[in-house]
């Protein structure tokens, strides 16, 4: 065989053949780290006053996700109960929201607001609308409250109940003073119809905000605000046209009511959201 094809491999002196052998400069352990000139290198982390308290990473569970999922589950249970037992009534409520003819049919049928279907829809409205306000406040911080989490959510629920209770008591008092109980009953029923429809429309919005992460959440927030503004504005215009055509209702009383209990809260909500 030709000698030029042979390769001679020699092992340098001082190296070991043991696999994964530790270099001698690591095994010393006591020698300081030096720079390329051979002088000791001072560590950047020496001389600090930070104390090590925990080496392992700490797990901090996000409690908000759990109770929000519980609220959404409760809303879903109420909706399934409503859809399975009162589907016809649910369809009639949507129709009454869009047409005065179906609303008058409700009045002829003596539709009561304390029925099971109306109570379920009112609960869905309170839970869904309060959850949307909470989610929007988490993103834009427009509520001047120090409470957080589920405490803030229940405060929002209580505020919605109080606001509409004051509104309904005021409307009922106006009807008693002006002796227009029939007209006021129709208007109160209209308020409930639109609120119940609004609660159903907000269900997919709050679910999307809670669980969809691949789409910018600002789109869902703007969608929710748009649904609220359009629904309440339509209810306001419908009630306005109805009351203007009614000669028994004083136009001055109507103007004061609309400015204080209908238009003003809507403007305040829009301004707070847009400013943030």
pLDDT at 123: 94
pLDDT digits 0-9 by tens, 101-113: 777 776 666 566 6
Quick check: 8 pLDDT over 50?
Answer: no
Please, which pLDDT band fits residue 1 given cuts at 50, 70 and 90?
very low
Residue 27 has pLDDT above 60, yes or no: no
Q: Which pLDDT does position 61 carry in this prediction? A: 46
List, in order, residues 6 or more apart from 222 with CB less than 8 Å away.
none
10, 16, 18, 24 alpha-carbon torsion, rounded to 10°: -150
Which residues lie across from 34 on neighbouring strands?
40
d(C-alpha 75, C-alpha 207), whole Å: 10
Name the more confident of 63 and 186. 186
What is the reported pTM? 0.69
pLDDT at 247: 58
Res. 246: pLDDT tops 80: no
User: Among 1-10, 76-85, 133-142, which stretch is predicted with the lowest mean pLDDT?
Assistant: 1-10
Q: What is the pLDDT of residue 251?
A: 60
User: Residue 258 pLDDT > 80, yes or no?
Assistant: no
**Nearest Cα residue to 118 out of 200, 207, 206, 232:** 200
Other Cβ atoms within 10 Å of 208 Cβ, number: 15
Would residue 96 be called left, alpha or beta, if left means φ above 0 and alpha means ψ between -120 and 50 degrees? alpha
Instruction: Judge whether residue 138 has pLDDT over 60.
Output: yes
Lowest mean pLDDT: which of 166-170, 220-224, 246-250? 246-250
pLDDT for 87: 84
Of 162, 153, 230, 159, nearest in space to 197 by CA = 230
Taking the CA of residue 138 as centre, how many other CA atoms within 13 Å lie in the half-sphere pointing to its CB?
A: 21
> Do residues 156 and 164 touch, judged by C-beta distance below 8 A?
no
CA angle 82, 88, 91 (to 5 degrees): 90
Q: Return the pLDDT at 156.
A: 92
> What residue segments make up the domains of the chain, in order of their start?
63-275
Give me the residues paired with residue 40 across strands.
34
Task: Grade residue 204 by pLDDT with cuts at 50, 70 and 90.
Answer: very high
Q: How far is Cα 190 from Cα 202, in angstroms, rounded to an integer?
A: 18
94 neighbors 197 (Cβ within 8 angstroms): yes
Q: For residues 225 and 132, what is the distance between their CA atoms, to the nearest angstrom? A: 9
Residue 215 has pLDDT above 80, yes or no: yes
């Amino acid at each position: 065989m030709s000698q030029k094809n042979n390769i001679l491999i020699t092992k340098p002196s001082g190296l070991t053949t043991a696999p994964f052998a530790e270099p001698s400069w690591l095994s010393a352990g006591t020698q300081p780290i030096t720079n390329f000139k051979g002088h000791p290198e001072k560590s950047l982390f020496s001389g600090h006053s930070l104390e090590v308290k925990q080496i392992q990473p700490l797990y901090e569970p996000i409690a908000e996700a759990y109770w929000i999922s519980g609220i959404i589950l409760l809303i879903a249970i109420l909706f399934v109960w409503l859809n399975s037992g009162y589907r016809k009534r649910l369809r009639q409520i949507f129709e009454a929201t869009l047409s005065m003819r179906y609303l008058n049919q409700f009045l002829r049928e003596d539709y009561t607001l304390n029925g099971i279907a109306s109570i379920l829809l009112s609960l869905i409205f309170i839970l869904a609308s309060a959850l949307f306000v909470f989610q929007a406040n988490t993103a834009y911080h427009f509520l001047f409250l120090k409470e957080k989490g589920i405490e803030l959510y229940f405060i929002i629920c209580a505020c919605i109940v109080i606001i509409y209770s004051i509104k309904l008591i005021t409307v009922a008092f106006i009807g008693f003073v002006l002796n227009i109980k029939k007209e006021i009953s129709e208007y109160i029923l209209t308020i409930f119809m639109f609120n119940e429809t609004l609660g159903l429309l907000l269900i997919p919005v709050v679910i999307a905000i809670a669980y969809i992460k691949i789409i910018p959440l600002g789109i869902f927030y703007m969608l929710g605000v748009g649904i609220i503004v359009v629904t309440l504005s339509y209810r306001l215009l419908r009630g306005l046209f109805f009351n203007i055509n009614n000669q028994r209702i004083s136009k001055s009383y109507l103007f004061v009511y609309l400015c204080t209990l209908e238009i003003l809260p809507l403007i305040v909500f829009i301004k707070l959201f847009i400013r943030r």
